[in-house]
Structure 1
Amino acid sequence: MYQQIMEQIKQRIAVGDWPPNTLLPSVRELATETKLSIITVKRAYLELGREGVIITQQGKGSWVSDTLDLATVQKQELIQHLEQASKLAKSLAIPEDKILQLIKQFME
């Protein structure tokens, strides 16, 4: 579950909902909002801190890092979407050339 929280936070950062220096909800607030344990949310914040995505200071809160490479976060987000699309295409037996054709259409 903590990985889902991490991904959701990264997604909000990638799409610009939470730009650098944005104060994040407290661990307690997010736990209440998501109906998850405080420990789960705290673990997500800890991992995001280790990755350099957020900065946390005891007693002051957590916020989006101002040194975060937004392009890297966005690229990771794109890769995750492509992985999901690839799995779906395989389950639907859609050939690779058709998938590439669809991607090209969206790129135009």
Structure 2
Amino acid sequence: MNIILSNSSGEPIYAQIVSQIRQLILQGELAAGDPLPSIRQLAKDLQISVITTKRAYEELEREGLVNSLVGKGSFVSGMNQQYIREQRYRLLEEKMKEVMEESRLLGIGFAEMVDIFRTLKEEQE
């Protein structure tokens, strides 16, 4: 798991951790049951306070994305699949909006966008 922190970001460190782990889960890079690094290990790897990583894990747990078991560690939750699906759907919508804006800037119409999408789909099959 590769988490990159920015000291120049206006976002608190714990929130950066939460958003990056959330993103990994929503994108399917971390699946249900996958273990997360221990709070101490992540703090050591990122060279930050254990309190900061604990706060991040607690936030992920509140969202239902992570389960923590005393003495066992923290794991990606499998319980909230509907929430994860909805969030991934929202990410897809955001990406599609970006594509629509880019196509508008390039002067590409809807029919041409559909043709491009169809061609890309055929290439994947």
Structure with the larger RCO, 1 or 2 (CA within 8 Å, 6+ apart): 1
Partner of 1:75: 89
- The one-letter code sitting in structure 2 at the alignment partner of 1:75 is Y
Partner of 1:46: 58
Note the residue ranges of structure 2 that are not aligned, 5 or more in a row. 1-12, 118-125
- The one-letter code sitting in structure 1 at the alignment partner of 2:44 is T
**Partner deviation per Cα, 1:69-106 (whole Å, 9 max, x = no partner):** 231332354567689x6xxxxxxxx899438959x849
Q: What aligned pairs does 1:91-102 form with structure 2 within 5 A after superposition?
A: 97-98=104-105
Partner of 2:121: none
Larger radius of gyration: 2
Structure 2 length-normalised TM: 0.62
**Partner deviation per Cα, 1:40-74 (whole Å, 9 max, x = no partner):** 11001001101100001121110000112231332
Q: Does residue 1:13 correspond to 2:20, yes or no?
A: no
SS state of the match for residue 67, structure 1?
A: coil
Q: Is the 8 A contact 2:103 2:113 kept in 1?
A: no
Separation of aligned partners in 2, 1:100 and 1:29: 50
Q: Does residue 1:56 correspond to 2:63, yes or no?
A: no
- The one-letter code sitting in structure 1 at the alignment partner of 2:29 is D
Question: How many matched pairs?
Answer: 99
Separation of aligned partners in 2, 1:47 and 1:54: 9
Note the residue ranges of structure 1 that are not aligned, 5 or more in a row. 86-93
**Which of 7, 14, 22 is equivalent to 1:2?**
14
Query: Alignment RMSD, CA only?
Result: 3.3
Q: What aligned pairs does 1:19-30 form with structure 2 within 5 A after superposition?
A: 19-30=31-42
